[in-house]
Structure 1
Amino acid sequence: TDPIRPEPVYRLGLMGIGVGGHAPVALGLAERALQEIVGIVEDKVRPGYTGPVGESELFRHDFARHEAKYRAAQAFVYEVFGQAQATVDADRPLTDEHHARLRQAATWAQEVAGDVVMFAHRWAGSATVRQPSALGRCVRDAAVATQHALVDRMTLVEAAPAIMPAYRR
């Protein structure tokens, strides 16, 4: 589609704008799940733990790994969308690689968010299913978001041919 508004963002195209809306939602779900689980495990006790779950080495290890995955996905999204935005701001057309990276970043952010939310869900135990539960809402929202057609895993398959040439020597 040809943009009818003058702002450069509309030159990202329908897919660029569409996937641009999905990645921030995914990142927000992941961040909220991390916030919720930190609060839940402060006082949560379980059999086999010597104190609150949040003080266990196993939880802290898992938390650090998932928080890093969230931060890496966030940085990737900002990088890819920043490059695309800079290109259209400079009045240059987006390349096939730009379009592929936009879809790749949005899909990857959804995958990572789903993983982060499920990490929090597993550690929260029954706190996720009690009403009302912000973490429970994150679980439901992530389950829906990861099923959207714009972030289907096939988008990574479709993106690969435009990305692979950058790695040829």
Structure 2
Amino acid sequence: MTTTAPTLDTTGTAANGTLSFEDVLEHVALRREEFATQKFVPRDMIDEFKQVGIYRAATPRQFGGDALPPSEFLRMIERISAVDASAGWVASFGSALVYLAALPLSTQAELYKDSPDLVFAGGLFPVQPAEQVPGGLKISGQWKFASGCKGADILGVGIRGGDSTAGKPRTALLWPKDVEIVENWDVVGLSGTGSHELKVDGVVVPEDWTFIRGGTPTVDEPLYRYPSIAYAAQVLAVVNLGVGRAALDYAIKVGAGRTGITGAPKLADRAYYRIDLAKAEATLRSARAFFYEVTDEAYATVVAGDPVPEKLAALLRLSSTHVAKAGASAVHTAFQLSGTGAIYDGNAMQRYMREALVPPQHAFLGDGIYDSAGAVLMEIPPFPGFI
């Protein structure tokens, strides 16, 4: 028997009369300055993401979730990010529930007992020691980069592994009441992500509430056979695809509509503007096509019951880094073409430039990925943890 994957409503009003995806995009546009100013996406906005399925997109179907094909979820994040990159970045962690599929089924049943719409946020580094005590692991420490932590239902922190994990680090799950959020997120771009630090002091976590990130899933559904580390890179990279699209659309709109401040011909009448804009359009669309092509190929492979070959997994990582940098390049081109108007704080290009700087700085999307992807293509070992 064949089954049809669930899909998100991205066009009209939701069937139950509540918010549609288009409604949510409008609300994000209205509130993006609020997110940047207060430095987090508030819980009521997170609740809207829940209503349109963002936080059940990676919940196993056996627990009432949608377990969407990756490309469908990625397109959602791309569209949110075109409106506001911080909101897109926070929403992207709806995919992080793929990691939780490595938990014992009994733990997952407890997590999802009230709703399949679960918001997970984690500060995984620096990895901290954990003391074995009666009842589990006693955890203390402070962890960085917990994006979306202020709206999370469950939080994760990175702890050292032991004999049972072959030395691989683990993530321990904690309820928000047991974690202090240290609000120190003060950055140039993606300021609305609320990527604060998490602090824990002597909380005991049962071992059944810990997992290895990218560990063997206990859920037998196609999404959890898709390469989880690659997926984690993809959901971050696609943010810049959205930002790049927004910047080029803005440049097209501005170029068609005004003359220069000196009275020179409008931008659309200048050959250099048309040429560079067309080149940026071609580059961004080409990177996007590569990105979604390998995503769909990999997912079709796991749906067919086969493991994703190492070279295809490497292409997932390569296309993610490439699309993050192509998005940033598109923004840079659009900014340069926009002239002196782009230097003013109120100009949209300022926001696009700040946001586009950040994703390529992430460890999952740096230049080292090119080296490891090339190593796999040449059939030599990449750095540990690449695949």
Select the structure that is richer in strand.
2
Q: Retained in 2: the 8 A contact 1:114–1:143?
A: yes
Between 1:134-143 and 1:123-132, the stretch displaced more is: 123-132
Match of 2:297 in 1: 83
**Post-superposition offset of 1:4:** 3.3
Match of 2:318 in 1: 104
CA distance in 1, matches of 2:344, 2:222: 45
Match of 1:45 in 2: 260
**Post-superposition offset of 1:139:** 0.8
CA distance in 2, matches of 1:44, 1:103: 42
CA distance in 1, matches of 2:334, 2:273: 10
Match of 1:67 in 2: 281
Give the 3-state SS of the residue equivalent to 2:243 in structure 1.
helix
Residues 44 and 6 (structure 1 numbering): CA distance in 2 closer, same or farther, change over 3 Å? farther
Structure 1: tracts of 5 or more residues without a match: none
**Post-superposition offset of 1:50:** 4.5
Residues 58 and 132 (structure 1 numbering): CA distance in 2 closer, same or farther, change over 3 Å? same
TM-score computed with the length of structure 2 as normaliser? 0.40
Q: Answer yes or no: is 1:158 the counterpart of 2:372.
A: yes
Q: Retained in 1: the 8 A contact 2:227–2:308?
A: no
Q: Retained in 2: the 8 A contact 1:10–1:17?
A: no
**Post-superposition offset of 1:46:** 5.4
Q: Retained in 1: the 8 A contact 2:237–2:359?
A: no
TM-score computed with the length of structure 1 as normaliser? 0.88
Give the 3-state SS of the residue equivalent to 2:358 in structure 1.
helix
Q: Answer yes or no: is 1:7 the counterpart of 2:221.
A: yes
CA displacement, residues 22-65 of structure 1 (integer Å, 9 cap, x when unaligned): 23212111110101111222304155x84101221110010111
Match of 2:248 in 1: 34
Amino acid at match of 2:218: I
CA distance in 2, matches of 1:129, 1:9: 44
Between 1:50-59 and 1:111-120, the stretch displaced more is: 50-59
CA distance in 2, matches of 1:135, 1:89: 41
Q: Answer yes or no: is 1:17 the counterpart of 2:235.
A: no
Which has the higher relative contact order, 1 or 2, with Cα contacts under 8 A spaced 6 or more apart?
1
Q: CA RMSD in A?
A: 1.8
Percent identity reads 28
Amino acid at match of 2:294: V
